[in-house]
Structure formats: C-alpha cells, structure tokens
Amino acid sequence: MPDLDRNGVTPEVIAQMASTPDPRLREIMAAAVRHLHDFAREVDLKPDEWLAGIAFLTAVGQACTSYRQEFILLSDVLGLSRLVNVMHDAEGREAAGTETSLLGPFFREKAPEFAAGESIATRDKGGEEIILFGTVTDAAGTPIPEAGIDIWQVDATGLYDLQSGDAAVMDMRGRFRADAEGRFHMRTVRPIGYSVPMDGPVGQFVQRQGRHGLRPGHIHVLVQAPGYRELVTALYMADDPSIDSDTVFGVARSLVVRPERGLPGAPRPDLPAIRYDFRLSRLDAEAGGGRVGADPSQMMPAGR
Amino acid sequence: MPDLDRNGVTPEVIAQMASTPDPRLREIMAAAVRHLHDFAREVDLKPDEWLAGIAFLTAVGQACTSYRQEFILLSDVLGLSRLVNVMHDAEGREAAGTETSLLGPFFREKAPEFAAGESIATRDKGGEEIILFGTVTDAAGTPIPEAGIDIWQVDATGLYDLQSGDAAVMDMRGRFRADAEGRFHMRTVRPIGYSVPMDGPVGQFVQRQGRHGLRPGHIHVLVQAPGYRELVTALYMADDPSIDSDTVFGVARSLVVRPERGLPGAPRPDLPAIRYDFRLSRLDAEAGGGRVGADPSQMMPAGR
C-alpha cells in the first residue's frame, strides 16, 4: 500500500482507471484527473473551498429541468463551449464555409414549421419587424435546394419561450425550408441583447465575478441538408453595446450583421433586412455531431 | 473584437473574469478556466463528448438529495477528495498528530449520543461485535479531557443508514465523550467492505471504467476538543481484500487496524478490540474547516 502524498495520489487514480475498456474514455478521464488535480495543487484548494465547489455544482445540477440547462450555461460562461465549438469548427469546416457558433441551452427540437416569408413572432410582444433572407449554398457558392433552416431567438422582452417555464409554449422559433434554388426568407423581430438567466446558481456566480452577464442580440440558426455538415451558427447585431463583451464568448466577426433597408433582392423593401448566405461544408464521415448546446429536455436523466 | 482561436479564447475568458472583487475567487476561477481549457485542448474534446459530459454532470446533480451527495462521491472516486485531504493534512497537522481521512458523503450532523461502552448498532442486523477504545491526546501524548467523538460506519449488510432512503433512520452512528483522562470506549460491529453506491450515475461511471467500486471496511471517526484542530479520520481493517485498492483512495498506512482479543487494557476481554489513540493537532487560527465531505442535507440548495 503506497502512502499517498500530494503528487502520489494522481498516478494512483490514473492507475486504477487503467481498467477502462473504452480507450477514448480512458484517455479523456486520465487527462481530466491530471488537470483537475493540477488545478487543486496549483491553487492549494482548501477543504472549505472544495465544499463550496461541491455545493455550487450540486445547485447547478438541481437547477436543471426539461426546459433549463444550467450546466450548459455554466460551460458557456466559462468559455468551454466556445472552445469546443472553435475546435470543432477548425476541424471539419471548409475554409469558405460559414463559421459556427454556440447552439446554447435554448434550442428546442420540433419547433413549429413556417412557410417562406412568415414570422416566428407568433405572439405579439412588440419589437421591430425585420427580414432575414439569403441562399443556402455549398462552400463554393453553388445553391443547395431545400435545406431545413431552424431559427430561434429571444422575444422583445429579452426572454426565450423556455424561460416562461411553460413547456407547452413555443414562440420565437421556427423551421423553414429553402426553395429549389436554395433561397430562404423569413420574418422575425430585431433581437435585443439580453442577460443570461441570473436567477440561478450560474447567474449568481456571474454576478459574484462582477460580470455584466449580457449577450449581444442575435438570431440562432441551424441549417441542415443531406450530404452536408449540419451548420449551427448565429447572427449577431453589430450595433449592440455588448457586441465586444459577450458573456458566453459566442461572437465571431464573420457573423456580425446589421439590418438595413434597401438591400438588393430584399423580399420586403418596407422592412429592415439582413441578407446572409449560409455556406455549408461537406459532411465528414468521421465527424460526430457538432452541436455545442442542446434541447434541455434531451439532457435530463430518464424519469425526470 | 478579437476573433477567438483555440488558444485565444482562454485569455479572453480570464480577462472577462478579472472584474471579480474577491481575489481568492478570481485566482481560483482563473486557474480553473486555464486547466479546464487545457484539458479540452489536450484531448481535442468533441461536441458529442462535451454533451455526454454535460449529461453526466446533470445526472450527478439530479441524483443529489438531502440524504445522498453524488458530487462528493464523484470527487471521491476521482481522487480529488483525497488530494484536498492530503494537502490539508500536510498543512496544519503536527507531525505526531493522527493522520486524517475523508469525511465522505455519509456523515450526519446530530447523531444520537451514547454513554461509554454502548453500541452504535441499535438495530440488530448481525455482524461480529467489536470494541474500539483508546485515549484522545495532544500531539505530545498528553491526554485531552472530554473530547467529543463521532463514529459512523456501514451495518452488517454493507449499507449506511442514509442509504435506506428514510431520513428519519439513524443507525450505526453515534456521539461519545471521552472521560476526564481522555479515555473512550465504544462498541460496534466489525465493518465489512462495501461498494460505493452503484445505482446512480457515479456508480455507472465506475462500472464503465472496469473498477470494482469497493472500499475496505472502515470506521469513520470525527474528534473535537476546544483549542484543537478537528480530526476527521477513519480506521481501516487490515484483512479486507480491497485494503490496497480502495476506490476512493482513502487508506493511509497509519490508519490500518486489526481487531484482536487480549489487548492490554481492553474494557471487554470477551470481544475483539481495536486500540487507537487519537492525537489532535493544535488549532491553527488561520485554517478553515478540514472536512472533506459533508452531511448531504447541508449541501442542498435552499428550498430542496
């Protein structure tokens, strides 16, 4: 029996985990233990601090429901989601393909379907009506017919439908289909900047860090077409005051847009419009899914 | 606005967290983010794997109740608890003081009080009766009068009372008081080795790692006396088959014991006895608490 000192405990744990049959799980957990222990040693983590961490993670887990994913939110505000997203993007995206962004904790499967030109704002809560239009193409710019396009965003009060706490409500989200020439066209309201949910443990944590907790206004977009890599991205509003200090680090320069009147080809000249052409990358058979986020209801343990 | 690559995201997150007023929280979180990101980069963490991790942590949090602390269990099987314990021990324990061990997730506040010589086995579930006796002293061996001594352990079926799921049940745990000469004496049953709870997400994880999940039989001990550092420790049974492969890495050589008949001074010569003298270290006014574990009911968010 080895007597474990502060350095000896780490190889002992990794040795006990060496029996893991799945080589990838073994690799991931050995690295996780090494970095976790290095962290604790570096900051000389005290029992009381460790206990505060346990209490925090417990509260984060307890805050999760079928319409709230507090662990994804935690990953987001720690920049881990963005890092995973950036690595995924660097790996399989064609250089000319549209950059990806976080899926986040507010995506929902099976959003209502809309016809071209309809608005996802099904409940009138105000906000300035805008148009989003463009073409779905491959990375070379060749149109892809009939891609599925999900968009979702906050309403004019800065809340997602999921934040109403009523799982039956679906609003400010919808599924569209591009036409045979790849063209799409939808209406929504100008997305305002908003705070990540501040009424839970992650919000309290962000406040204890003196961070503003704001995200610049954005429209989430998910584009799917057979034979192409699913595109998870978002379009960010250029004039939002927190465009340079997104609390979940989601903004990329190529995804910043500005609704404008008088754009050539805009289907509704009376409304401010965003034109964005989504360029899909080829499907890499090796790659798994690229969603850095989830429908909260898919993330709950069975029976909850 | 910086476009974040796989290395650029980390300093950006740490910069946003620089507003944290509490310097210790700022230090801990900067290190946590750095190590978390280093981990993700090192294993090239994929979105699907990240999502599996989120689902796992969610399940761990959801498994916590006022009588079950699944996050402490996770910390235990990853060796983090032992590391925090070892660092705390190295810092404030006097060289001759008794080594500490994990408090674990099965401690309960306000265990029933017993008089010297009584048994904590209040419900007859079998098992071989044994004696634990000795003296509480300071590190130099001078007796400390009237120290409080909590002990707790599994019953003869290998379960803690908390695992019955009935919060009203307290069994196999109790509080004793040493006498004016520091002597104590209590009865229990020989603790058998047992598996950590395998019916939750951490147990499933341990199984996926091909680990046995066993802990060698042990008696948890918590000793308190005014002016001395609280001693959290445990006594491990020498003849247990998993004494060298504890799944939570709690065993230290100086804490291994063997119940024997005929020990000098044993208060009940008819029973196997363990003699252990607990040597308390002086209280370090700087040090916070040293409990690497908790009563699960103290770890739940308010209102749960």
| Closest residue by Cα to residue B36 from B18, B59, B11, B10 | B10
For residue B9, the one-letter residue type is V
A229 with A281: CB under 8 angstroms? yes
Check whether A286 has a pLDDT greater than 90: no
How far apart are alpha carbons A188 and A129 in whole angstroms?
A: 6
Residue of B nearest to A83 (CA): B6
**Judged by CB atoms within 8 Å, which residues 89-118 of A form the interface with B?**
90
Least CB–CB distance from A54: residue in B10, B21, B75: B75
Check whether B208 has a pLDDT greater than 90: yes
The count of residues in chain A is: 304
Check whether A304 has a pLDDT greater than 80: no
Q: Are A289 and B47 within 8 A, CB to CB?
A: yes
Alpha-carbon Rg for chain B, nearest whole angstrom, is 22
Q: How far is CA B182 from CA A197, B144, B221, B263, B264, in A?
A: 54, 5, 15, 19, 17
* Burial track A133-165 (b if 16+ CB lie within 10 A, e otherwise): bbbbbbbeeebbeebbbbbbbbbbeebbbbbee
Least CB–CB distance from B80: residue in A37, A87, A252: A37
For residue B12, the distance in angstroms to the closest alpha carbon of chain A comes to 8
Q: What string of H, E and C letters represents the secondary structure of B28-81?
A: HHHHHHHHHHHHHHHHCCCHHHHHHHHHHHHHHHHHCECCECHHHHHHHHCCHH
Percent of chain B predicted with pLDDT > 70: 97
A244 with B4: CB under 8 angstroms? no
How far apart are alpha carbons B178 and A140 in whole angstroms?
A: 82
| Closest residue by Cα to residue A41 from B82, B248, B256 | B82
Residue of B nearest to A294 (CA): B51
How far apart are alpha carbons A219 and A222 in whole angstroms?
A: 10
**Judged by CB atoms within 8 Å, which residues 54-83 of B form the interface with A?**
54-55, 57-64, 69, 71-72, 75, 78-83
The confidence score (pLDDT) of residue A2 equals 64
Mean pLDDT of A203-224: 97
Q: Are A57 and B79 within 8 A, CB to CB?
A: no
Q: Are A64 and B69 within 8 A, CB to CB?
A: no
**Residue B20 with chain A: CB contacts under 8 Å:** 208-210
Confidence of residue B65 (pLDDT cuts 50, 70, 90): very high
Q: Are B39 and A42 within 8 A, CB to CB?
A: no
**Residue B54 with chain A: CB contacts under 8 Å:** 69, 71-72, 75, 294, 299
Place of tokens 């063209």: A183
Check whether B155 has a pLDDT greater than 70: yes
Least CB–CB distance from B211: residue in A16, A28, A46: A16
Query: In what helix (H) or strand (E) does residue B25 lie, and over which residues does it extend?
Result: helix B23-43
The confidence score (pLDDT) of residue A294 equals 87
How far apart are alpha carbons B291 and B293 in whole angstroms?
A: 5
Least CB–CB distance from A304: residue in B1, B33, B62: B62
Centroid of chain to Cα A168: 22
Confidence of residue B34 (pLDDT cuts 50, 70, 90): very high
**Judged by CB atoms within 8 Å, which residues 273-302 of B form the interface with A?**
288-292, 294, 299-301
Confidence of residue B2 (pLDDT cuts 50, 70, 90): low
Confidence of residue A92 (pLDDT cuts 50, 70, 90): confident
How far apart are alpha carbons A85 and A245 in whole angstroms?
A: 18
Average pLDDT of chain A is: 94
Q: How far is CA B262 from CA B52, B227, B271, in A?
A: 55, 35, 9
Tens digits of per-residue pLDDT, A108-160? Answer: 999 999 999 999 999 888 899 999 999 999 999 999 999 999 999 999 999 99
For residue A267, the distance in angstroms to the closest alpha carbon of chain B comes to 31
Check whether B215 has a pLDDT greater than 70: yes
Pairing of strands B278-280, B218-224: unpaired
Confidence of residue A285 (pLDDT cuts 50, 70, 90): low
Q: Are B45 and A84 within 8 A, CB to CB?
A: yes
How far apart are alpha carbons A298 and A304 in whole angstroms?
A: 11
Residue of B nearest to A71 (CA): B54
Alpha-carbon Rg for chain A, nearest whole angstrom, is 22
Least CB–CB distance from A47: residue in B5, B26, B84: B84
Confidence of residue B4 (pLDDT cuts 50, 70, 90): confident
Residue of A nearest to B99 (CA): A3
Check whether B205 has a pLDDT greater than 90: yes
**Residue B218 with chain A: CB contacts under 8 Å:** none
What is the spatial order of strands in the sheet that B256-257 belongs to? Answer: B173-177, B148-152, B218-224, B231-237, B256-257
**Interacting residues of B124 by C-beta distance below 8 A, sequence separation 6+:** none
The confidence score (pLDDT) of residue A287 equals 63
How far apart are alpha carbons A52 and A38 in whole angstroms?
A: 19
Check whether B294 has a pLDDT greater than 90: no
Confidence of residue B289 (pLDDT cuts 50, 70, 90): confident
Q: How far is CA A135 from CA A179, A183, A268, B130, B273, in A?
A: 9, 4, 16, 79, 81
| Helix/strand/coil for B198 | coil
Check whether A29 has a pLDDT greater than 70: yes
Centroid of chain to Cα A129: 24
Tens digits of per-residue pLDDT, A249-265? Answer: 999 999 999 999 999 99
Given CB atoms, is B209 within the 8 Å cutoff of chain A? yes
Q: Which residues pair with A224 in a beta bridge?
A: A148
Check whether B1 has a pLDDT greater than 70: no
Q: What is the dihedral of CA A107, A109, A114, A118, to 10 degrees?
A: -10
Percent of chain A predicted with pLDDT > 70: 97
**Residue B50 with chain A: CB contacts under 8 Å:** 75, 80-81, 84, 292
Check whether B105 has a pLDDT greater than 90: no
**Residue B28 with chain A: CB contacts under 8 Å:** 43, 45, 49
Given CB atoms, is B257 within the 8 Å cutoff of chain A? no
The confidence score (pLDDT) of residue A1 equals 62
The confidence score (pLDDT) of residue A172 equals 96
H helices of A7-122, in order, are 9-16, 23-43, 47-63, 70-77, 80-92
At residue A72, what are phi and psi to the nearest 5 degrees? -65, -40
How far apart are alpha carbons A218 and A143 in whole angstroms?
A: 25
Q: Tokens in use for A87? A: 């690595």
For residue A13, the distance in angstroms to the closest alpha carbon of chain B comes to 6
**Residue A238 with chain B: CB contacts under 8 Å:** none
The answer, yes or no, to whether ipTM is higher than 0.85 is: yes
Q: Are A82 and B4 within 8 A, CB to CB?
A: yes
Given CB atoms, is A37 within the 8 Å cutoff of chain B? yes
Q: Are B46 and A82 within 8 A, CB to CB?
A: no
Confidence of residue B35 (pLDDT cuts 50, 70, 90): very high
Q: Are B256 and A1 within 8 A, CB to CB?
A: yes
Residue of B nearest to A25 (CA): B209
- Residue A183, classified by CB atoms within 10 Å of its CB into exposed (0-12), middle (13-18) or buried (19+), is middle
Tens digits of per-residue pLDDT, A44-87? Answer: 999 999 999 999 999 999 999 998 999 999 999 999 999 999 99
Mean pLDDT of B80-86: 96
How far apart are alpha carbons B218 and B95 in whole angstroms?
A: 23
Pairing of strands B173-177, B148-152: antiparallel
At residue A233, what are phi and psi to the nearest 5 degrees? -150, -170
The confidence score (pLDDT) of residue B166 equals 80
Residue of A nearest to B83 (CA): A6
The confidence score (pLDDT) of residue A76 equals 96
Q: Tokens in use for B177? A: 């008081």
Average pLDDT of chain B is: 94
Tens digits of per-residue pLDDT, B223-244? Answer: 999 999 999 999 999 999 999 9
The confidence score (pLDDT) of residue B229 equals 93
Q: Are B22 and A301 within 8 A, CB to CB?
A: no
Check whether B173 has a pLDDT greater than 80: yes
Q: Tokens in use for A298? A: 């898919």
